[in-house]
């Protein structure tokens, strides 16, 4: 369950100005057509949720809706939700309360809840949140048009059925808030790893892998549209396995190669890997193709074998260390990031110290760190006591965050003087005179703009650093 380590918990406000301009132009030219209905989406949670929102936007566009950046102007307001932590659910409920003003202004407006919370809570949303009209699970987005029609007639509408086949392979996502350089490609859905703390297998169903031909076609289309980086997404990409009726199969390493072969100028990233599944074949593919970025997100969760066993992670401390050693043996300059959960059921002070010692061993380039949040319906909720006091969880989390910041600062200090190829993603937040991009190891580098533009590849030498960012100067002509 690794995608949910990078819990963004940010708001993705759907606004595709080019599509909106097209819709307005159509209205200008055809006065007899009714005004298009407007939709607004907010997205919480993981990268997979953001990818799903792009699928939803495509489906809504085919239904005649156009996006708006202001929920107060919308005829349809949707929240794509996350259930992985209690805090994410609380934010969604709070946001729904704010949306009550929509109904007062426009009684015919429709409010819907999508995603993992929708699947987990189902009809409770309709009972407790009176403004919610439709509830749609991750595998039911194709039914949005029908569900909206039901809501238009004054009825509540729900579809949270899980599927063993749905991958949305034939739907061309509408890239939302895109920088025009980087894009997600969903290669599989669901998860078969029954980690005891995780709701994903219950909210997103079993694993199913997408047809590789559709993945390659999407990568080619993105490249032709000017995108220069794709991230292959899945709850556990290493377990990707597609078979056809003739018995032919494609595993993740083979898929990775096929995407890398689309064009040498197309960077390829992937998220996320499970320590038990990542293979040497994947590492050798990363070695062979320079455009496969040298970066692996490898969730640890805990440095204690006893805690890992209760989490049902199916590896122990020593196994994880061997995986890290193998990565460093084959790809010495590979960036490694992780997820860490502190305060899981039964975690002792010694268990916590083992997590800190594992962090010292690996020295992660980036980490997503959280206090354990018990989720209803999981194995842990049914079988273990959430017995670590919140103040202890908070103190341990502070120690983990402090150590990670120390490692990142020291890691970045070692980067001074090194030169990397950086793909420019946009302007620095602090100055329009500076650009930023990432190196193959996924580290952000800021440098003077000069003559360069978004989407360019630039050679940059590192001259300075913080714990979060590298600072550099271009060495390209």
Give how far the C-alpha of residue 82 lies from the chain's centroid of Cα atoms, to the nearest Å. 11
User: Could you identify the residue written with the tokens 């209690």?
Assistant: 86
Given this model, what pLDDT does residue 85 score?
A: 76
Residue 28 buriedness (CB in 10 A; 0-12 / 13-18 / 19+): exposed
Given this model, what pLDDT does residue 290 score?
A: 97
3-state secondary structure of 248: coil
**Other Cβ atoms closer than 10 A to 293:** 22
Quick one: DSSP state of residue 69? S
CA 8, CA 42: separation in Å to the nearest integer?
A: 12
Beta strand 419-427 with 434-438: parallel, antiparallel or unpaired?
antiparallel
**Other Cβ atoms closer than 10 A to 473:** 14
3-state secondary structure of 413: helix
| Domains of the chain, first to last | 17-159 (3.40.50.2300), 182-413 (3.80.30.20), 419-474 (2.40.50.140)
Q: Which two structure tokens, joined as six digits, stand for 86?
A: 């209690």
How many angstroms separate the first and last alpha carbons of the chain?
44
Q: In terms of Cα–Cα distance, which of 340, 337, 321 is closest to 329?
A: 321
Q: Which residues pair with 444 in a beta bridge?
A: 438
Given this model, what pLDDT does residue 13 score?
A: 34
Burial string for 65-97 (b: 16+ CB within 10 Å, else e) reads: bbbbeebeebbbbbbbbbbbbeebbebbeebbe
* SS3 per residue for 131-163: CCCEEECCCCHHHHHHHHHHHHCCCCEEECCCC
Phi-psi group of 145: left, alpha or beta (phi > 0 → left; psi -120 to 50 → alpha; rest → beta)? alpha
Given this model, what pLDDT does residue 7 score?
A: 32
Query: Angle, nearest 10°, between helix axes 390-413 and 349-362?
Result: 10
Q: In terms of Cα–Cα distance, which of 62, 63, 42 is closest to 53?
A: 42
Give how far the C-alpha of residue 192 lies from the chain's centroid of Cα atoms, to the nearest Å. 18
Q: In terms of Cα–Cα distance, which of 141, 191, 145, 195 is closest to 168?
A: 141
User: Could you identify the residue written with the tokens 């020295």?
Assistant: 363
CA 214, CA 15: separation in Å to the nearest integer?
A: 26
Give the alpha-carbon dihedral of 400, 402, 408, 411, to 10 degrees: -100
CA 280, CA 411: separation in Å to the nearest integer?
A: 25
Q: Which residues pair with 340 in a beta bridge?
A: 301, 369
Decide: 52 and 115 in contact? Cβ < 8 Å.
yes
Q: In terms of Cα–Cα distance, which of 270, 154, 163, 266 is closest to 221?
A: 266
The one-digit pLDDT tens for each residue of the chain (477 residues) are 333 333 333 323 333 333 333 332 333 333 344 578 999 999 988 889 999 999 999 999 999 999 999 999 999 999 999 887 777 788 888 888 888 888 888 889 999 999 988 888 877 777 766 789 999 999 999 999 999 999 999 999 999 999 999 999 999 999 987 899 999 999 999 999 999 999 999 889 999 999 999 999 999 999 999 999 999 999 999 999 999 888 899 999 999 999 999 999 999 999 999 999 999 999 999 999 999 999 999 999 999 999 999 999 999 999 999 999 999 999 999 999 999 999 999 999 999 999 999 999 999 999 999 999 999 889 999 999 999 999 999 999 999 999 999 999 999 999 999 999 999 999 998 899 999 999 999 999 999 999 999 999 999 999 999 999 999 999 976
Q: Which two structure tokens, joined as six digits, stand for 376?
A: 């209803």
Global confidence as pTM: 0.88
């Amino acid at each position: 369950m690794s995608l949910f380590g990078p819990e963004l918990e940010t708001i993705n406000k759907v606004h595709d100005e080019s599509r909106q301009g097209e819709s307005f132009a159509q209205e200008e030219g055809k006065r007899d057509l009714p005004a298009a209905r407007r939709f607004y989406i907010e997205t919480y949670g993981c990268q997979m949720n953001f990818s799903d929102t792009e699928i939803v936007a495509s489906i809504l566009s085919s239904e005649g809706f156009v996006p708006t950046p202001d929920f107060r102007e919308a005829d349809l307001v949707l929240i794509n939700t996350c259930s992985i932590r209690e805090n994410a659910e609380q934010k969604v409920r709070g946001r729904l309360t704010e949306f009550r003003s929509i109904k007062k202004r426009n009684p015919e407006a429709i409010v819907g809840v999508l995603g993992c919370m929708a699947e987990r809570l189902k009809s409770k949303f309709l009972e407790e949140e009176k403004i919610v009209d439709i509830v749609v699970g991750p595998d039911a987005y194709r039914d949005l048009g029908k569900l909206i029609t039901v809501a238009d007639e004054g009825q509540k509408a729900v579809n949270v059925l899980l599927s063993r086949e749905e991958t949305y392979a034939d739907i061309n996502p509408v890239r939302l808030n895109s920088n025009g350089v980087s894009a997600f490609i969903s290669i599989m859905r669901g998860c078969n790893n029954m980690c005891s703390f995780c709701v994903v297998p219950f909210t997103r169903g079993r694993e199913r892998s997408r047809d590789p031909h559709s993945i390659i076609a999407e990568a080619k289309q993105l490249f032709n549209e000017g995108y220069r980086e794709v991230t292959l997404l899945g709850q556990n990409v290493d377990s990707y396995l597609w078979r056809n009726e003739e018995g032919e199969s494609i595993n993740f390493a083979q898929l990775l190669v096929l995407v890398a072969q689309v064009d040498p100028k197309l960077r390829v990233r992937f998220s996320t890997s499970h320590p038990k599944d990542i293979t040497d074949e994947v590492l050798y593919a990363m070695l062979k193709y320079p455009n496969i970025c040298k970066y692996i997100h490898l969730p640890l969760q805990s440095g204690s074998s006893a805690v890992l066993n209760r989490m049902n992670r199916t590896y122990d401390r020593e196994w994880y260390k061997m995986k890290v050693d193998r990565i460093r043996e084959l790809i010495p300059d590979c960036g490694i990031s992780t997820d860490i959960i502190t305060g899981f059921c039964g975690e002792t002070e010694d268990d916590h110290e083992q997590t800190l010692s594992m962090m010292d061993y690996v020295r992660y380039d980036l980490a997503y760190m959280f206090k354990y949040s018990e989720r209803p319906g999981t194995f842990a909720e049914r079988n273990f006591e959430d017995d670590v006091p919140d103040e202890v969880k908070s103190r341990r989390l502070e120690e983990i965050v402090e150590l990670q910041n120390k490692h990142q600062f020291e890691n970045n200090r070692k980067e001074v003087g090194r030169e990397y190829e950086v793909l420019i993603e946009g302007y620095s937040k602090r100055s329009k005179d500076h650009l930023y991009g990432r190196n193959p190891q996924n580290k952000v580098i800021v440098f003077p703009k000069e003559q360069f533009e978004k989407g360019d590849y630039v050679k940059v030498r590192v001259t300075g650093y913080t714990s979060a960012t590298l600072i550099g100067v271009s060495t390209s002509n």
